[in-house]
Amino acid sequence: MPAAVLYGFHMSIRIKVALPYLLLTVIVSVIGVYVVTRLVTSSLTERLTNQLLEAGRVVSDSFVRQEGFHVSEARRMMFTEGVGVAVRGADREAALKIVEPLFGTSATENVIIVSPEGKELLHLLKDNDGNVVVVDQDTGAGNMQLVASYLRNRNPQESPHRFLGGNFVNDNVYYYTALPMTSDGDNFDGVVIIGTSVNTLLPVFKQVALADIVLYAPDGGVILHTFGSADAAALELLNLSAADYGEIINTDEELVTGENNLMIAGRTFTIGRAPLQVGNDRIAVFAVALPTDFVTQVGAENRTTYVVIFTVLTLAVAAIGYFVSRMIIVPLFSLVRTSQAIAGGDLNRRTGIRTGDEIETLASSFDDMTAKLQKKTVELEEKNIELGEKNELLRKMDRTKTNFISISAHELRTPLTLIMGYSQMLNQDLGHDPEMQKLARGILDGAERMTDVVESMLDVSRIDSNALNLRKTNIQLDAVIRKVQKEFSPALAERRIKLSLEGLENLPVVTADPDMIQKVFYHLVMNAIKFTPDGGNVKVSGRFVNGAEPPQVEISVCDTGIGIDPGMHEIIFEKFSQTGEVLMHSSGKTKFKGGGPGLGLAIARGIVQAHGGRIRVESPGHDEEKLPGAKFIVTLPAPSRKERTP
């Protein structure tokens, strides 16, 4: 039978799987939406809102009761014999002698008495251990607007006023009640202010309200809260804007619902906010917060309904799934076992699946792929044998090249030393013959240049064999680079190239080998001079990168030269690599496009990497007319700012 006819005759695998589960998903979704929206969501939301409202009322009532206690304690003090006379007469010692014992037995934590003349006569508070502390300094209570109003009216029958305020002595926030003092009900003796720390009140109010409590400052920031283990990031979510604070403090609503599902201290909360009103005074905005799982009892009440519904649905899913899985999983298991055998190396294995659907098509494709894989594997094994022999030959050649460089450099050192010595002697002895002295000077210059090449070859050999010996010490990069600048001063003057240093004096001390680091910037500056036309600019700049891990010092060598093609940005750091036509290079290590062995950047990279740093180049391209320039960037590990000594 043709494949197309066979495909149309048998039920497609997507129908086998998708249709029953699609129908079942629709049924479960409809029932689930009904259960959640009708039986759970509305009940939970309503219950949570009502509980928030009740918690807000409890908090407000608790502040009212505390205000009543403040009034009773204030009257107990003011009606004690001798207090009125002492306050009217501004006799601090007499007032202290009477009030201090009364305050010591009171549950309040702060009392301030202001004389009729507005002088802060007495200020007592309790420390964390409950001991009475006598405050000798004037905290400015007599200048408060509320106190000034009492002093101006001098009405002993004026109603109490309440407010939240911070005490400058211990920086605690107190809930205060202020009222006029009178010892006989007719005469105005002064003003008494009674306070209790909010740190003491809020935990008690939380236990009564069964909700967490937050108090806000007029700018919308949180003053105090009862979320014990909440971190600063979580509490930042509780803050209000000043505009929102003003809107809530002036609202007529009993509770303003706030954010839902606010994550604090690992739990999800719902917030409600309201103005805190005691008598005629609105003293602050407060919030009550309940965890969303506070009302999970409602879900428990409907548990039986959920169990019955979802048990039936689960049994239906299991029954349908069993029959569907039999149709699909059996051939798939065969395919899996075959694939595992092939993965284990048995490329002669085949699936042999015949189901008339997409699984058969997949199995046939898999068998065909296995046959092709078997063929390619044989070919690759043959190629690998050839490549292995070639790779071994290349490794031997590379080792031979490295050995040759090392041996050649060592062997050349001795004759070069002799040539330089004799050349120096000739140069001194031929002072009377300028022509011969010029020839001797030429021999000496050539020997010195050959010595530089030999030293570079030795450095490359040490880098390749991981034998670079670093003598690290604390160095200032500014001093190292200035030595390089001084070394190239004649060449810079000859070529009219300006070399500027920027930001190096502010760099921190780094731990490095000073001679090796000097070689790095010697080669980088020499390259910048060589590929910058006469009259150009070279700049060496540095900066401290404290945001990196670990902190780094970054030094850049920028030039206004001919630039480097992007394709050469990695190649130029390889040994013996050079840009452009080597035969067209001029002679002289600082001449424009001067020649060289092509080892400088390889040495620089090897030294930088040995110090745990890295080097890279940035250049838009090579252009000898537009002169785009190049920028070499060296990064070295550095101590962080906090580790640096002043």
Which of 143-147, 359-363, 387-391, 436-440 comes out lowest in average pLDDT?
A: 387-391
For the beta carbon of residue 553, count every other beta carbon within 10 angstroms. Answer: 22
The whole-angstrom separation of Cα 188 and Cα 207 is 40
Q: Which amino acid is at 256?
A: V
Which of 85 and 592 is assigned the larger pLDDT?
85
Secondary structure (3-state) at 270: strand
Provide the 8-state DSSP code for 455: H
* Model pLDDT for residues 256-276, shown as the tens digit of each residue: 666 667 788 778 888 888 898
Which one has a higher pLDDT value, 102 or 338?
102
Chain position carrying tokens 């201090």: 100
What is the pLDDT at residue 447? Answer: 62
Q: Which residue has the higher pLDDT, 46 or 371?
A: 371
Instruction: Report yes or no on whether pTM surpasses 0.75.
Output: no
| Residue at 305: amino acid letter | T
Element of type H or E holding 500: strand 498-502
Residues of the chain with CATH 3.30.450.20: 57-295
Residue whose entry in the numeric block shows the structure tokens 């680079």:
481
CATH 3.30.565.10 intervals, the chain: 470-643
- Dihedral over alpha carbons 453, 457, 460, 466 (to 10 degrees): -140
- Which position has the higher pLDDT, 309 or 298? 309
- pLDDT at position 502, please? 95
Q: How confident is the model at residue 233 (pLDDT cuts 50, 70, 90)?
A: confident
Q: Cα–Cα distance between 471 and 640 in angstroms, integer?
A: 22
- Average pLDDT in the 137-143 region? 86
Which pLDDT score, from 0 to 100, does residue 508 have? 92
CA-to-CA distance for 604 and 588, rounded, in angstroms?
A: 20
Structure tokens at 198: 């909010």
pLDDT confidence tier of residue 475, bands split at 50, 70 and 90: very high
Whether the per-residue pLDDT at 585 is higher than 60: the answer is: no
Question: Which CATH fold would you assign to the domain 470-643?
Answer: Heat Shock Protein 90 (3.30.565)
Question: Any idea how long the chain is?
Answer: 646
**First and final C-alpha spacing in the chain:** 90
Q: What is the mean pLDDT of residues 619-639?
A: 92
Contact 634, 612 (CB under 8 A): no
* Distance, CA of 570 to CA of 429 (rounded, Å): 49
Q: What's residue 8's pLDDT?
A: 41
pLDDT of 155 above 50: yes
Q: What is the pLDDT of residue 343?
A: 77
Angle among Cα 38, 40, 42 to the nearest 5 degrees reads 65
- Rounded to whole angstroms, the Cα distance separating 607 from 463 reads 8
pLDDT of residue 597: 72
Highest mean pLDDT (candidates 279-293, 330-344, 385-399, 587-601): 279-293
What is the reported pLDDT for 620? 93
Cβ atoms of 141 and 123 closer than 8 Å: yes
- Which residue in 151, 154, 155, 153 sits closest to 143, CA to CA? 151
- 573: pLDDT strictly greater than 70: yes
Average pLDDT value over all residues in the chain: 80
**Per-residue confidence (pLDDT) for residue 554, from 0 to 100:** 94
The candidate with the shortest Cα–Cα distance to 201, out of 228, 222, 224, 218, is 224
User: What's the confidence (pLDDT) of residue 564?
Assistant: 93
CA–CA gap between residue 309 and residue 35 (Å, rounded): 10
Q: Would you say residue 487 has pLDDT above 60?
A: yes
Please, are residues 460 and 606 in contact by the beta-carbon 8 Å criterion? yes
User: Looking at residue 160, what DSSP letter applies?
Assistant: P
Q: Which of 546, 529, 517 lies closest to 634 in space, CA to CA?
A: 517
Beta carbons within 8 Å of 309's beta carbon, 6+ residues apart: 31, 35
- pLDDT of 575: 75
- Which of 239-243, 560-564, 591-595 is predicted least confidently? 591-595
Split at pLDDT 50, 70, 90, the class of 646 is very low
**DSSP bridge pairs for 197:** 174
Give the per-residue pLDDT at 30: 65
Cα 134 to Cα 103: distance, rounded to the nearest angstrom: 11
Q: What angle do CA 269, 275, 277 make, to 5 degrees?
A: 130
For residue 612, what are the contacts with CB-CB under 8 A and spacing of at least 6? 636, 637
- 3-class secondary structure, 123: strand
Structure tokens at 476: 């200032």
Q: Kindly report, residue by residue over 505-561, the tens digit of the pLDDT.
A: 989 999 999 989 998 999 999 999 999 999 999 999 999 987 757 789 999 999 999
Architecture of domain 57-295: 2-Layer Sandwich (3.30)
Handedness of CA 422, 427, 433, 438 (dihedral sign): positive
pLDDT one-digit tens code per residue, 329-384: 677 777 777 777 777 777 777 777 777 777 778 778 877 887 787 788 777 877 77
3-class SS of residue 534: coil
- The mean pLDDT value for 576-592 works out to 61
